[in-house]
């Protein structure tokens, strides 16, 4: 059996990504796996596919707004999104790649997701991201510098390009040994794939 | 606690509707409910929303084709769709409304869904629908007449209009005491709603 990390692709605007971010680590750990946290820019993918954000889709948008909150409650996650939504996920995503070097991508992800979608905070600006991360125990001035690091910027670009080339059209998108699962409602399949290697 | 039937909206072209059709009766019965089988014309809804069938959506289409078969296997349902896909679901849907008068809408649904998506049979024509239903024990000549019954035709039109007005944008769509759930991957929520009346 493989021990490859579970790849977890998500956009910081995605309520379903937020819910899944609260679950993925425990699911992976249960099967001896780690999580490879891969924030990406879903907006860049939508430019390729022509998709529009869920809330703007006729009929489905109304359902989605209702279901975001309902899904969060179902999974015991606090949901309180910001008024300015969608927001730029660039700074938050870069912060995750900066934290990844120290193996803290998961902690950074949850700190920023919780602030944005759990406490309606702005995470669009680098300053906001630094303040939230500092409060969560990260070194704020190191992060402020890290957000300008060309290697960090490049990593977000590379993973977003990777998402496009691997046809990762939504968030969250979880990949177990090459098998992709889209959506926070697919943990039953993710678990069975981890257990059995496929069906 | 309500004992209202679980409303089950589906289109005969929908692989996820097909999978869910195999599960919904047992889920409802477990909670003392019956199922109100409501086939509708998803194509008419798509004309309103501007949506296109899943297989034609960039990137998502590739995922969907893979996931249709994977979801069917996950739920132990045989999946073998016809080459000519999507097909007209009108005759099959009318057959369900005809059978509904005798409380056999579920049996008719499964007979036709199994033929179409499990055995790659054509169910687009009234003749094909009658032949499949007759093989499943229905009165073929009565059904052939029923498919021309203005009341039967009207019922499909009425439920399709109802789907549009209730913003039922996809298939399957399950409604428990007014609460809607979209997708064959939402049975966990449907079950909890049936158990608890909401959360």
- Is residue A191 predicted with pLDDT exceeding 90? yes
What pLDDT is stored for residue A85 in this prediction?
82
What pLDDT is stored for residue A159 in this prediction?
98
The CA-based angle A156-A157-A163, given to 5 degrees, is 90
Domains in chain A with CATH codes: 6-196 (3.40.30.10)
Please tell me which of the candidates A50, A167, A192 has its beta carbon nearest to residue B62: A167
Give the span between the Cα atoms of A57 and A139, in whole angstroms. 40
Q: Is A165 on the interface with B (CB under 8 A)?
A: no
What pLDDT is stored for residue B112 in this prediction?
98
B89 φ/ψ sector (left φ>0, alpha ψ -120 to 50, else beta): alpha
The residue-averaged pLDDT of A118-140 equals 98
Instruction: Tell me the CA end-to-end span of chain A in Å, nearest whole number.
Output: 15
- Is residue A97 predicted with pLDDT exceeding 80? yes
Confidence of residue A118 (pLDDT cuts 50, 70, 90): very high
Please tell me which of the candidates B67, B167, B189 has its beta carbon nearest to residue A59: B167
With the CA atoms of A50, A54, A56 and A57 taken in that order, what torsion angle do they form, in degrees rounded to the nearest 10?
Answer: 80
Please tell me which of the candidates B62, B167, B189 has its beta carbon nearest to residue A63: B167
* Six-digit token string for B13: 């072209």
Q: Is A83 on the interface with B (CB under 8 A)?
A: no
pLDDT means per 10 residues in chain B (199 residues)? 93 98 98 98 96 92 96 98 92 98 98 98 97 98 98 98 98 98 97 96
The answer to whether B28 and B35 are in contact (CB under 8 A) is: yes
With the CA atoms of A10, A15, A18 and A24 taken in that order, what torsion angle do they form, in degrees rounded to the nearest 10?
Answer: -70
Confidence of residue A1 (pLDDT cuts 50, 70, 90): low
What pLDDT is stored for residue B85 in this prediction?
82
What pLDDT is stored for residue A84 in this prediction?
82
Q: B182 to chain A: nearest residue by CA?
A: A63
Residues above pLDDT 90, as percent of chain A: 94
- Is residue A2 predicted with pLDDT exceeding 90? no
Task: Name chain B contacts of A57, Cβ cutoff 8 Å.
Answer: 49, 51
How many contacts (CB atoms, under 8 Å) link A and B? 68
Task: Name chain B contacts of A59, Cβ cutoff 8 Å.
Answer: 45, 48-49, 167-169
- State the DSSP H helix or E strand holding residue A70, giving kind and residue range, or none if neither: helix A60-74
ipTM of the complex in this document: 0.94
Query: Taking all residues of chain A, what is their mean pLDDT, rounded to a whole number?
Result: 97
Contact check, Cβ <8 Å, A186/B185? yes
Place of tokens 């005491």: B177
Give the span between the Cα atoms of A151 and A128, in whole angstroms. 21
The residue-averaged pLDDT of A167-191 equals 97
Q: Is B52 on the interface with A (CB under 8 A)?
A: no
Alpha helices in chain B (DSSP H): 15-21, 24-30, 42-49, 60-74, 90-100, 105-113, 119, 126-135, 140-146, 150-165, 187-196
What pLDDT is stored for residue B1 in this prediction?
66
Does the pTM of the predicted model rise above 0.90?
yes
Contact check, Cβ <8 Å, A51/B73? no
Mapping DSSP to helix (H, G, I), strand (E, B) and coil, where does residue B36 land? strand
């Amino acid at each position: 059996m493989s021990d490859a990390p579970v790849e977890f692709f998500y956009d910081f605007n995605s309520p379903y990504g937020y819910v899944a971010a609260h679950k993925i680590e425990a699911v992976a750990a249960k099967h001896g796996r780690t999580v490879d946290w891969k924030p990406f820019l879903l907006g860049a993918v939508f430019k390729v596919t022509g998709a529009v954000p869920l809330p703007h889709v006729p009929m489905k948008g109304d359902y989605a707004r209702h279901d975001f909150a309902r899904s969060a409650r179902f999974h015991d996650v606090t949901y309180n999104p910001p008024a300015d939504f969608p927001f730029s996920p660039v700074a938050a995503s870069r912060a995750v790649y900066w934290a990844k070097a120290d193996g803290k991508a998961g902690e950074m992800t949850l700190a920023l997701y919780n602030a944005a979608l759990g406490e309606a905070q702005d995470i669009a600006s680098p300053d906001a991201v630094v303040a939230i991360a500092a409060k969560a125990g990260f070194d704020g001035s190191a992060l402020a510098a890290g957000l300008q690091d060309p290697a960090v910027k490049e990593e977000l670009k590379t993973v977003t390009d990777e998402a496009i080339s691997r046809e990762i059209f939504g968030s969250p998108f979880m990949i177990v040994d090459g098998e992709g699962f889209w959506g926070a409602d697919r943990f039953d399949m993710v678990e069975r794939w981890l257990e059995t290697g496929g069906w």
